Each structure stands twice: as C-alpha cells, then as structure tokens.
Chain A
Amino acid sequence: MTVRLNGDERECREGATIANLVEELGLGKKRIAVEVNQDIIPHEEYVHHGLKHGDEVEIVHFVGGGC
C-alpha cells in the first residue's frame, strides 16, 4: 500500500503501524510528532495505529528558528 509521507509517496507493507514506520525511519528515539490525515497521533498509540492506503502522514521535529 502507499501512503503520502511528508508530501512524498511511500510504500508500506499491509498492516504497518506508525511505530513500524517511525522505527524504519530511525526516528524511534527522536522528539517528533506524527499526524495522520491531520489528526495528531499520541506517542502511546503508535503501536496500535495501523496505516491505511492513501493516508496522509506528516512527521515533524524541531529545527533552528527564531521569529
């Protein structure tokens, strides 16, 4: 199945969870936030939340910035 991750298409295996995706990306220990179809998913739900074909996934973190 395909999801849209930060604006780009990405192949995921059927039944993959957010936890799987985050681990695959090496972001498991980073301070990130994840949105699926504009809903923020709490960290504790990553292991339960299955991704579906066509999901719009956003993963954000903190970068340098001032104003």
Chain B
Amino acid sequence: MPDLPDPFVLAGKEYTSRLIVGTGKYKDFAETKQAIEASGAEIVTVAVRRVNITDPNKENLLDYIDPKQYTILPNTAGCYTVEDAVRTCRLAREAGVGNMVKLEVIGDPKTLFPDIPGTLEAAKLLVDDGFIVLPYIHDDPISCQKLEDMGCAAVMPLAAPIGSGLGICNPYNIRIILEHSKIPVIVDAGVGTASDATVALEMGCDAVLMNTAIAAAKDPILMAEAMRLGVDAGRKAYLAGRMGKKLYATASSPLGDLIE
C-alpha cells in the first residue's frame, strides 16, 4: 500500500523523513554515512570547528555527506555565550551550506541544559540577520512561545539531557508546547531507543532529532533503521488517532452465540 503524502514542512521546504540525525560519535565517516542512509534522514546536523592545520588534507565529513543530497544543519554545540553562538552561525553560513542553523546556547557543562536568556537573545539576533533558526530549548512552553513569536522556524524542546538516553521525561510539558505551537515542534536530545522516538511522534511532535541514541548503540546501523521505523510508527499512530484508555475490559469478540 503506498504511503499517503504526509510531508514534514520546515521553513517552507518539504521533507519525507521526520527523523533528523547528528553526525557525531561514530567510529569513522563510513559508519556515519551508513547510519544516515539507514535512518532515512534528509536533514543532518554538523558542528563547526577549527580545521586541523597540521593535517589539513585529512578526510572531511562533507566528502561523505553530500550537501546536494542532504540538508546540512550546522549547530552551535559547545557555545556558552550569545556571542560565540552567533559567531559560529555566521561562520557556518559563510562556509556555504545555507542559512538554517540549530541554535544552542549551553548553560552548564554537566547538564548541557540550554541557557534560556542566552538562547532567546541569540535567536533574536540571528532571526534579524536572516537566519532560519531552530533553537534547542528546555521543555518549557513559555520559552517556546517566545521563540515562536520572535520568528524561529521551529522549536526544539529537549526530551531529556543531551546524550542521556532517558526518553521524554516530561510528556505533559511537551503536550502543552504542542497545543500552543503553530510552528513545527522537534524533540531534540535525550531519546534513547526507538520507542522513545515513537512516543514523540505519537504525541504529535513534527519530528525528532537524535545522535547518541544511534551512534552509541552496539550496532548503530541497525539502530538507525529501528529509529526510522519507530518514527514512522509513531507518526502513523498519531494520524490514525489512538483509542481511548479505559479502566475495565471491553470484549472484542461477540458476546452472544456462545456454546452451551
């Protein structure tokens, strides 16, 4: 049966996949490429770092991940100030992969939680500078509303701390964010396994972004496929509309015409 058209629209562009994947923590670029292919992702995140001057001819990530085939989403991971985050975005844009960025202004190295005032300030500067801004933010409906109001293209509330694999820790907040948001809601960070991704999509999130859950699996390629299927299952369940929950049983076989 052919799938019904159900595009994920982000900043005016249609995508088939609702899974966005990172490119960090893989054993090599070949494995990164295979995992991305298995995940079916069309948007991949990358980090911006200094070129290794002592060996500048070393292989480059973009030799494996073709920017013509994938939407490259540079992040500002590792930025603890508004200035560093904005500077990193501007460098990424100059490096020639477009103007969509995953904004992170990190507040603390132990939790890697976002610095909310810093994220809001940087988002405003970047939107005003013509960027398509996808901010990583707490599962906080108020911050998400403010980011939407200032013109971000999506909000990316965390499911749990980055790299923790704890899954969606506060589904009630995510539900409130979903209820109020008129822009895509992408759960970013904290997903641990395929069922976590399914839950996010079942709730009505538009997409999910992950890295460690795939890269740190014993078999990253297989997990990438599991995530693809988990996201698809969650989306289809959301569209199908789940049955209501009841406390007592309701028989699904006819109650009459039993043998005596």
Contacts and interface: CB of A to CB of B under 8 A. Distances in A.
Interface in B50-91: 50-51, 53, 56-57, 60-62, 67, 72, 74-75, 77, 87, 90-91
Interface stretch (B5-13, B16-24, B115-123, B140-148): B16-24
B49, B57, B94 — most chain A CB neighbours (10 Å): B94
Nearest to B156: A67
A64 B46 contact: yes
A33, A38, A40, A43 — most chain B CB neighbours (10 Å): A33
Given A60-B48, A65-B45, A67-B211, A33 B95 contact: yes
Contact of A58 (B50, B60, B62, B209): B50
Nearest to B112: A67
B62 A59 contact: no
A64 B75 CA distance: 10
Nearest to B26: A64
Q: Tell me if B's interface is mostly helix, strand, loop or mixed.
A: mixed
B162 A67 contact: yes
Contacts of B57: 26
B19 to A, nearest CB: 13
A58 B77 CA distance: 18
Contact of A65 (B47, B67, B112, B189): B47
Interface stretch (A2-10, A12-20, A47-55): A2-10
Given A6-B50, A33-B92, A61 B211 contact: no
A34 B95 CA distance: 8
Given A40-B90, A40-B91, A62-B61, A67 B51 contact: no
B139 interface: no
A64 B189 contact: no
B249 to A, nearest CB: 43
Given A40-B90, A40-B94, A65 B75 contact: yes
Contacts of A10: 53
Interface of A: 5-8, 10, 25-27, 30-35, 38, 40, 42-43, 58-67
Given A35-B87, A67-B212, 7 more contacts: A7-B50, A40-B91, A61-B95, A64-B25, A66-B209, A67-B45, A67-B209
**Can you list the 8 inter-chain pairs with the closest CB atoms, starting with the nearest?**
A66-B22, A66-B211, A65-B47, A33-B94, A64-B23, A33-B95, A33-B91, A62-B46
